[in-house]
Chain A
Amino acid sequence: MPCILAENLVKTYRRSQRQPGVWGALRGLVHRQHQVLRALDHISFRIEPGELVGYIGPNGAGKSTTVKLLSGILVPDSGRCEVLGRVPWQDRIAHVARIGVVFGQRTQLWWDLPVIESFDLLRDIYKVPGPDYARRRDELVGVLELEPLLDVPVRQLSLGQRMRCDLAAALVHGPDLLFLDEPTIGLDALSKLAVRDFVRRLNQERGATVILTTHDMDDIEALCTRVLLIDGGRILLDDTVEGLRRQVSPERRLVLDLVEEEGDFGDPQVRLLRREGRRVELAFDPNQVPAPALISRLTARCAVRDLFVENPPIEETIAQLYRKNQG
């Protein structure tokens, strides 16, 4: 049984439009014009237990709407959906007891209370049996290094500290499925690494199914096996991270550090991207010329101190896909 099954989900919003100027505002009092926005336009996908899926797309693409549908907060206009064998919005209370959600931009902790009291409250809310709660709490406190934070009121935590506490809060009841909506937004490098490391372990060691929405492509590269790319309410791509790259451009980068500043790279099968002093960046298509052949050809021609081959940054890949879709 798939963990999540979505078929042809459609969700539209009605937005009343304001006409400009005083006259427009007055007319708006009597006669409102509405614009219908299609946030989700026949979305279908399935996710198996234990997958760690990246759900990406530009702002306003429909990511959050999907997460809200799957977690039972919103009701779609049409389409079929089953999460953990349940229709989320039909039996919201039973459904949400089995899932955990973190919205990176908000906190689910009680602002004025010490962190530990928020955890205790969640225990009561989710009816977690005492021993289970103690075990899970201690484990989360250990892994996320929360010990020194437990007695601090939430409003006094830094963003990175708060996010670690929020992750723990989403897991106090041991959910089978975790939605992370931009969990690394605004975090410093160290906190980002801590969050990523935790999510990876959760997925690998516990087999938790995780849906991760993010704008941070490093999150995707570090964590996800599979990527769903959404824009304008449609799924543009459902593939592995490798597949995502191949989809747009198979190009790789070759970076060379030369011994001398001079040197000619007029090779028909490479494109010169940048040249700064002794460093040269080239782009090539591995389908046309295999990397070893290209390297031996170039190193035969001039003295090279160091070299490495890399993939183009995934941001560029994604940006190309967005542009392709809008164009």
Chain B
Amino acid sequence: MKAYAAILSAQFRTLLQYRGAALAGLFTQVFFGLVIVMVYEGFYRSTTTTPPLSLAQVVTYTWLGQAMLGLIPWNVDPEIRNLIRSGGVAYELLRPLDLYRLWFTRCLARRSAPTLLRALPMLALAYAFLGMQLPPSWTCLLLWLAANMGALFLSAAFTALLSTSLLWTISGEGINYLVICMIILGSGLQIPLPFYPDWLLPVLNLLPFRGLFDVPSRLYLGHIPPSQALPVLAHQFLWTLALIGFGRWVLARGLRRLEVQGG
């Protein structure tokens, strides 16, 4: 385990160097967040039915989304992609390490470091100036943190699976496009899941994507009450295990047909 921890820490420190990118991202996210908030305000002013979340809750949900954007597994790990394209994957296989665990570790760093770098200033800004609310109780805050840890592992499992598909496709562009749409809609990042029509909700609740963002955010809001936290966290956990299992299986198959690129 020490080896993986050391690699995680090294990757994490490397990724923390990209402060410029984080700053640029912050501006973009403030801009898009404001646009989304304005759309919701217009929508709430003209609606005749009672929405499933209050306006204040939706605004908070929106800023949470802008803060936790880095946690969403919307692409393959660029480093694994480079390794596969250049043949550097040979060096990965020369380590006395389990390749899936090694890649999972890479993905863990890929999803956590940029998120940490972006989330803290974004949250601070949103609390101070942009109408974001604190969670209703300490329990909600703790559950949000726990669910985010779960979301991190779920996201890393997704990223590892997507990255493994590169052993077949090499480029990864296709997979990225395919997945982006499902993940953005299914995780609640675009619209909070309670806004979806009733007939679609059971499907969305079954799929793994909500564990990435909707579950942590609604635990934060108390919209999923703490008494119901256990089943949703279990849902997140079980999907993580399933994706890890599937990712391992795919990787084992990929390695059997592996051709290391380049001489």
- A235-259 contacts to B, CB under 8 A, are none
User: Which of B28-36, B91-99, B109-117 lies at the interface with chain A?
Assistant: B91-99
Closest beta carbon of chain B to A1's beta carbon, Å: 22
Cβ contacts under 8 Å, A110 to chain B: 10, 14
Say whether B173 faces chain A, with CB atoms less than 8 Å apart.
no
Output the nearest chain B residue to A181 by Cβ-Cβ distance.
B263
In the complex, A127 Cα to B5 Cα: how many Å?
Answer: 13
Answer whether A68 and B95 are a contact pair too, CB < 8 Å, given A121-B10, A124-B2, A127-B3: no
Say whether B259 faces chain A, with CB atoms less than 8 Å apart.
yes
CB-based contact A117/B260 at 8 Å: no
User: Which of A72-80, A200-208, A300-308 lies at the interface with chain B?
Assistant: A72-80
Closest beta carbon of chain A to B96's beta carbon, Å: 4
Say whether A94 faces chain B, with CB atoms less than 8 Å apart.
yes
Output the nearest chain A residue to B86 by Cβ-Cβ distance.
A106
In the complex, A181 Cα to B91 Cα: how many Å?
Answer: 12
Output the nearest chain A residue to B258 by Cβ-Cβ distance.
A74
> What 1/0 flags go to B79-113 for Cβ under 8 Å of A?
00000001110110111111000000000000000
Closest beta carbon of chain A to B40's beta carbon, Å: 41
CB-based contact B95/A125 at 8 Å: yes
Closest beta carbon of chain A to B196's beta carbon, Å: 36
In the complex, A238 Cα to B262 Cα: how many Å?
Answer: 26
CB-based contact A106/B96 at 8 Å: no
Say whether A190 faces chain B, with CB atoms less than 8 Å apart.
no
Cβ contacts under 8 Å, A127 to chain B: 2-3, 96
Cβ contacts under 8 Å, A74 to chain B: 258-260
CB-based contact A113/B93 at 8 Å: no
Question: Number of contacting residues on A, CB 8 A?
Answer: 32
CB-based contact B93/A72 at 8 Å: yes
Output the nearest chain B residue to A170 by Cβ-Cβ distance.
B94
User: Which of A96-104, A221-229, A272-280 lies at the interface with chain B?
Assistant: A96-104
Say whether B7 faces chain A, with CB atoms less than 8 Å apart.
yes
In the complex, A73 Cα to B258 Cα: how many Å?
Answer: 9
Cβ contacts under 8 Å, B6 to chain A: 120-121, 124-125
Say whether B190 faces chain A, with CB atoms less than 8 Å apart.
no
In the complex, A108 Cα to B95 Cα: how many Å?
Answer: 10
Output the nearest chain B residue to A118 by Cβ-Cβ distance.
B10
Output the nearest chain B residue to A93 by Cβ-Cβ distance.
B96
CB-based contact A96/B94 at 8 Å: yes
In the complex, A101 Cα to B2 Cα: how many Å?
Answer: 23
CB-based contact B263/A101 at 8 Å: no
In the complex, A126 Cα to B87 Cα: how many Å?
Answer: 22
Say whether B45 faces chain A, with CB atoms less than 8 Å apart.
no
Cβ contacts under 8 Å, B88 to chain A: 106
> What 1/0 flags go to B115-130 for Cβ under 8 Å of A?
0000000000000000
Closest beta carbon of chain B to A70's beta carbon, Å: 11
Listed in ascending order, the chain B residues whose CB lies under 8 Å from chain A are 2-3, 5-7, 10, 13-14, 17, 86-88, 90-91, 93-98, 256, 258-260, 262-263
Task: List 25 A-B pairs, Cβ < 8 Å.
Answer: A60-B263, A63-B263, A73-B93, A73-B94, A73-B260, A75-B256, A93-B97, A94-B96, A96-B93, A96-B96, A97-B96, A99-B94, A105-B262, A106-B91, A108-B91, A112-B14, A121-B7, A124-B2, A124-B5, A124-B6, A124-B7, A125-B95, A126-B96, A127-B2, A127-B96
